Structure 1
Amino acid sequence: MSVATIIGTAIKTATVLLGVGIGKITIIPVLIAALAYFNYDLMDPENHPRVTKQLRKDYDFVVIGGGSAGSVLVNRLTENSDWNVLLLEAGGHETEITDVPILSLYLHKSKLDWKYRTQPQDTACQAMNDGRCCWTRGKVLGGCSVLNTMLYIRGNRRDFDGWESFGNPGWGYEDVLPYFKKSQDQRNPYLARNTKYHSTGGYLTVQDSPYLTPLGVAFLQAGEEMGYDICDINGEQQTGFAFFQFTMRRGTRCSTAKAFVRPIQLRKNFHLSLWSHVTRVLINPQNKRAYGVEFIREGRKEVVFVKKEVILSAGAINSPQLLMLSGVGSRPHLEELGISVIKDSPGVGQNLQDHIAVGGLIFPIDYKVSFVMNRMVNINTALRYAITEDGPLTSSVGLEAVGFISTKYANHTDDWPDIEFMLTSSSTTSDGGTHVKNAHGLTDEFYNEVFRQITNHDVFGIFPMMLRPKSRGYIRLRSKNPLHYPLLYHNYLTHPDDVAVLREGVKAAIAFGETNSMKRFGSRFHNKPIPNCKHIPLYTDEYWNCVVRQYTMTIYHMSGTAKMGPSNDPMAVVNPELRVYGVEGLRVIDASIMPTITSGNINAPVIMIAEKGADMIKARWIQSSRSKRDNVTVAAS
């Protein structure tokens, strides 16, 4: 990296973070920064994959969506040099800003975000503008792996054994573990030695955070104080506490675009089309076979044809939307919108699951050790980041440790916790009430009443996340216009068991803040009564039942909307090989296919699903080519 680029990165990053005006920076650094970024764009040191200007008329495979799953698929499918593969992505490239871990929340509601919002429902998100939850989704090569907090969590053994028990052979834990390991390049030497659960040399770099505050170790000590082990939560035992691991490389984000797409950009059988909004999959109504894809690029409608398969990897919102636009979905819904029905599949858009947490559980402390943005982020830390690739800017919005705990509703003798603690050296108030509030969609009235007095104070935060929700949402088309956003119904907390588990998670979080390990920092719960709940006696179960419906925070893990299941399941959309029921040459490979959501952050499981899906595709078509050769041999003899 050149000196000019280093200085440019430092100044540009600090400018974005602090809102520094030109008048506050001397003219010489500004000129250097301008020159650096002029050269940055010319030289492209980030090695962005080149967009294919002249597409072929047809391809063996077309992958729709260049996110966490699609990026893996094009890498693995193009390993066969006989296959031509096209990747269609609605967004563009990553930027230098997306690389900086601390900036992930600044990307919400940017041009890299689809900016989805759910329909108003009174069961949750009552502290948000219009009572609508903000569902950030990546509209960029690399998808949500470009906007997420980079947490690497695989889930629980019983999640996958459960999938298998539902009638999906080959999806048990021992079946999927090799695919988690296939992607991984584990940089923690202690974990890398445990070859049963970890591996090195994969495309996806997984590492510990380069930067921790003193709160990080205290979080683990507090977990021990509560009776939990410190363990490898991606290994033999999930219940317990650990430092988070991140999909990060040398202090910068390791998105799936960086990990899987950039290394293959010179493969002649790989084509990439960005800013390409797919409008539908073309399916022959006679033989029910997918034969092409229609999309909009540069304001024009284009079509490419497919010789083998179309693969939907557009995510748990866009994949079911495209299925419905293509005639695969609930017959009454499609006919109501005037869409010709190819396959009556009532499960499309149903079974929507997400992980939610309670936001705003904040604990002020007496020591200047937490992640207060206006103190921790400045020109010095920006230079440190640009030159040495460490320091506060490598922090993923203050996320330091994780705890998997069991409430009274879980079986304590079993390793299947029902709450995940996301433990942070920051919280909603740590950036002065700006970007976090905006990203979460909080109203000014709610923020000012509850948090204004502790804005920019030293705090830590606990986000108790419910791992296995029983509530199910759904997705509907707004119209048959593919540019209209779908209608999103979260249905959060419509099942009473979800309210009970989340309430107990909140009570456990407050108990965590009362441990001696946290009291050493002067920890005390910020107990400002929550609007809409003041009429209920404080800290009763009824009060907490009300609270969880106010600052209901999605963890952006939408999944399950094209579920995998056996043929006798009327709500299954794809079979255990991820092939769409009733349509030849069409698969869904992304978070949509999860029958039930995994117990933890879902980016690692989505990458695993793509790795396994790619092998299924290879097996199908390699077997097909062998059968053809055998038939030719028999005929010739």
Structure 2
Amino acid sequence: MIGLKVYICTTYTFYLLGSTILWIVLNSSYHFYRIYYSDTPNKRQYEYIIVGTGTAGSIIAAGIPSNDVLVLEAGSMRSSLMDVPLLQPLLQGTDYDWKYRTEPQKYACAALNENRSAWPMGKVFGGTHMLNNMIHYKAETKDFDGWFDHEDELHSFLEYFDRWGEDEMIPIELPTFETGLGTSFVKAAVQAGLEKNLFYKPNVTTRYGRRSTASHYCWEYLQQKHEITLNAQVTRVIVQNHKATGLILDKAGKTYHIKASKGIILAAGTIGSSKILLQSGIGPKEHLKAAGIETIVNLPVGENLQDHITTGMDLVLISKQMPIQPIDLIHPSNIWNYVINDGMNSSLSFGGCECLGFVNLESKFSHKLGFMVLPVGITIDAGLHLRNVINLREDIWQNYFKTLVDQGLQSVTILPILLHPKSKGYVRIENANLHSNIIIDPNYLREKEDIEILITGLKILQNIDAKVFFSEVIRTGSAT
């Protein structure tokens, strides 16, 4: 028991020191780049203005048929540390994150402070793709039925997804590291009668074990072809005679009015684009009136908000330690494999998810229920960071999660995911103040069917033969 306590103390002391240093470096780099990239737009009019440099914004900027384009990003330039996949959890909550919180949820999030869910979103060149798990899932036609009036438009839209993995700008590859947990879960799921072709290791958007997004490719390309302004927050679109003619942006305490002769493309994400439009007077008339904003165009902007919700962090305990403990990260062979061998067999190249699974449940969509298998949980850092990122209540941590840490138990996470929620929410603004907080209310689990699907997911996990799963985990883990 004394040996266990010494091991736990030593391991998490190392983690605390390492994560603190990384936290300082990441936040410092954000502010360094704010100063370094201090340029303002060179002109007051362009043919096109693109707002946002996430996946959509970067791809559009790379392909737009014009040499007179201004690309705007509210966040700072990314740090090279953000390309290390395993550091992904440490990115959330830094200055590279907008740090959004939802409104208190009436039907969900009971284990979170004030029933508010964290919504990490990238405030960085590259957008939220710089913060996420880098999982690539090929789009299926059924999931976009109803988006277009004509079938040929739908197929033209889906053709863009076929470029993933073939286009140099958007690479995908299989993970270069695994613990064996994903393989074990696939075998156990198939033996439980689930469809074999729907449980598999996911492709990820990496190149040689490093995070690789459309913005990585676009940075050098865009600098040569277009003008890029970072740390520039767009607050309003200017509409004259029912035509968007320009926008207002803030940078370094100054306000700029930039015109566009041909078009403005908003690619600032679910929250960012909605906020800009609402502040511009484009949105639901009644909401804008209540916020004190004149309605320019009455449209359902910010309505129909949907988010896939999950449950089950640290739900499964196993007797075998996964080879992804904090102390494993600094092993010389782990660092060597990441730096020299393109991330092969290095946990530093691991983005978090080791297996995906899907169950249709007689849905009109491709699938209603999904599964994500992660060889860790929020106990991996002994409560130093991850529980704060997800906004977990202190009493929930103390009564369940901390006991796992104190006993040195290895927990893993198998998440059932609601893929197509019936519960719909909204994005709204508090008032006419351009810098006021955004209101995010996804109305999680308001519809009973959403709850039933998640319960079905938990029952499916219960029905998986524990002996098959755990024996596979231990056997595969020993061989890793």
Q: Give the TM-score taking structure 1 as reference length.
A: 0.66
Which of 121, 124, 129 is matched with 2:105 structurally?
A: 121
Give, in whole Å, the separation in 1 of the partners of 2:41 and 2:248: 16
**Which residue of structure 1 lines up, in the alignment, with residue 232 of structure 2?**
276
User: Conserved in 2, the CA contact under 8 Å of 1:225 and 1:515?
Assistant: no
Render the CA deviation track for 1:408-461: whole Å, top value 9, x for unaligned. Answer: xx36xx883211110111122222223221221111210121122222532321
User: Conserved in 1, the CA contact under 8 Å of 2:282 and 2:295?
Assistant: yes
Residues 432 and 56 (structure 1), Cα distance of their counterparts in 2 relative to 1, 3 Å cut: same
Deviation at 1:359, TM superposition (A): 3.0
Amino acid at match of 1:365: I
User: Conserved in 2, the CA contact under 8 Å of 1:370 and 1:458?
Assistant: no
Amino acid at match of 1:56: K
**Which residue of structure 2 lines up, in the alignment, with residue 60 of structure 1?**
47
Render the CA deviation track for 1:492-547: whole Å, top value 9, x for unaligned. Answer: 10011111111111111233362513344479xxxxxxxxxxxxxxxxxxxxxxxx
Give, in whole Å, the separation in 1 of the partners of 2:319 and 2:18: 32
Deviation at 1:331, TM superposition (A): 1.7
**Which residue of structure 1 lines up, in the alignment, with residue 288 of structure 2?**
334
Amino acid at match of 2:112: M
Render the CA deviation track for 1:534-561: whole Å, top value 9, x for unaligned. Answer: xxxxxxxxxxxxxxxxxxxxxxxxxxxx
SS at match of 1:295: strand
Residues 386 and 20 (structure 1), Cα distance of their counterparts in 2 relative to 1, 3 Å cut: farther
Deviation at 1:273, TM superposition (A): 0.6
Render the CA deviation track for 1:89-118: whole Å, top value 9, x for unaligned. Answer: 110111022111011111111101111101
| Within-5 A mapping of 1:229-240 | 229-231=195-197, 240=198
Correspondence 1:303 to 2:257: yes
**Which residue of structure 2 lines up, in the alignment, with residue 6 of structure 1?**
none
Give, in whole Å, the separation in 2 of the partners of 1:21 and 1:117: 27
User: Conserved in 1, the CA contact under 8 Å of 2:51 and 2:265?
Assistant: yes
Render the CA deviation track for 1:281-320: whole Å, top value 9, x for unaligned. Answer: 0111xx2111111000111001111000111111111111
| Within-5 A mapping of 1:603-622 | none
**Which residue of structure 1 lines up, in the alignment, with residue 320 of structure 2?**
367
Correspondence 1:393 to 2:348: yes
User: Conserved in 2, the CA contact under 8 Å of 1:370 and 1:426?
Assistant: no
Correspondence 1:463 to 2:460: no
Correspondence 1:441 to 2:391: yes
Give, in whole Å, the separation in 1 of the partners of 2:314 and 2:15: 25
| Within-5 A mapping of 1:455-604 | 455=405, 457-512=409-464, 514=466, 516-521=468-473
Which of 307, 313, 319 is matched with 2:267 structurally?
A: 313
Correspondence 1:256 to 2:256: no
Residues 383 and 280 (structure 1), Cα distance of their counterparts in 2 relative to 1, 3 Å cut: same
User: Conserved in 2, the CA contact under 8 Å of 1:215 and 1:370?
Assistant: no
Which of 113, 121, 134 is matched with 1:150 structurally?
A: 134
Give, in whole Å, the separation in 1 of the partners of 2:365 and 2:52: 35
SS at match of 1:305: strand
Residues 216 and 370 (structure 1), Cα distance of their counterparts in 2 relative to 1, 3 Å cut: farther
**Which residue of structure 2 lines up, in the alignment, with residue 210 of structure 1?**
176
Give, in whole Å, the separation in 2 of the partners of 1:177 and 1:334: 34
Deviation at 1:229, TM superposition (A): 4.0
Deviation at 1:16, TM superposition (A): 12
Give, in whole Å, the separation in 2 of the partners of 1:218 and 1:139: 37
Q: Aligned pair count? A: 450
Which of 105, 112, 124 is matched with 2:96 structurally?
A: 112
SS at match of 2:381: coil
Give, in whole Å, the separation in 2 of the partners of 1:21 and 1:499: 39
User: Conserved in 2, the CA contact under 8 Å of 1:51 and 1:271?
Assistant: no
Which of 20, 23, 28 is matched with 2:17 structurally?
A: 20
Deviation at 1:336, TM superposition (A): 2.5
**Which residue of structure 2 lines up, in the alignment, with residue 266 of structure 1?**
224
Residues 401 and 509 (structure 1), Cα distance of their counterparts in 2 relative to 1, 3 Å cut: same
Give, in whole Å, the separation in 2 of the partners of 1:522 and 1:247: 29
Residues 203 and 15 (structure 1), Cα distance of their counterparts in 2 relative to 1, 3 Å cut: farther
Residues 415 and 300 (structure 1), Cα distance of their counterparts in 2 relative to 1, 3 Å cut: closer
Residues 352 and 369 (structure 1), Cα distance of their counterparts in 2 relative to 1, 3 Å cut: same
User: Conserved in 2, the CA contact under 8 Å of 1:421 and 1:465?
Assistant: yes
Residues 447 and 477 (structure 1), Cα distance of their counterparts in 2 relative to 1, 3 Å cut: same
Residues 521 and 289 (structure 1), Cα distance of their counterparts in 2 relative to 1, 3 Å cut: closer
Render the CA deviation track for 1:360-407: whole Å, top value 9, x for unaligned. Answer: 252111223353x3232225233442333320111112x111111244
Residues 440 and 142 (structure 1), Cα distance of their counterparts in 2 relative to 1, 3 Å cut: same
Deviation at 1:226, TM superposition (A): 2.2
Give, in whole Å, the separation in 2 of the partners of 1:206 and 1:158: 23
- Is the radius of gyration larger for structure 1 or structure 2? 1
SS at match of 2:105: coil
Q: Is there any run of 5+ residues in structure 1 with no aligned partner, and where?
A: 1-13, 25-33, 35-41, 186-199, 232-239, 524-637
**Which residue of structure 2 lines up, in the alignment, with residue 355 of structure 1?**
308
Amino acid at match of 1:342: I
Correspondence 1:243 to 2:201: yes
Residues 521 and 435 (structure 1), Cα distance of their counterparts in 2 relative to 1, 3 Å cut: same
User: Conserved in 1, the CA contact under 8 Å of 2:169 and 2:213?
Assistant: no
Give, in whole Å, the separation in 2 of the partners of 1:126 and 1:209: 34
**Which residue of structure 1 lines up, in the alignment, with residue 125 of structure 2?**
141
SS at match of 1:266: helix
**Which residue of structure 2 lines up, in the alignment, with residue 594 of structure 1?**
none
Amino acid at match of 2:15: L
Q: Is there any run of 5+ residues in structure 2 with no aligned partner, and where?
A: 1-10, 26-31, 476-480
Residues 70 and 513 (structure 1), Cα distance of their counterparts in 2 relative to 1, 3 Å cut: farther
Q: Give the TM-score taking structure 2 as reference length.
A: 0.87
Give, in whole Å, the separation in 2 of the partners of 1:421 and 1:446: 24
Give, in whole Å, the separation in 1 of the partners of 2:439 and 2:200: 38
Give, in whole Å, the separation in 1 of the partners of 2:360 and 2:48: 44
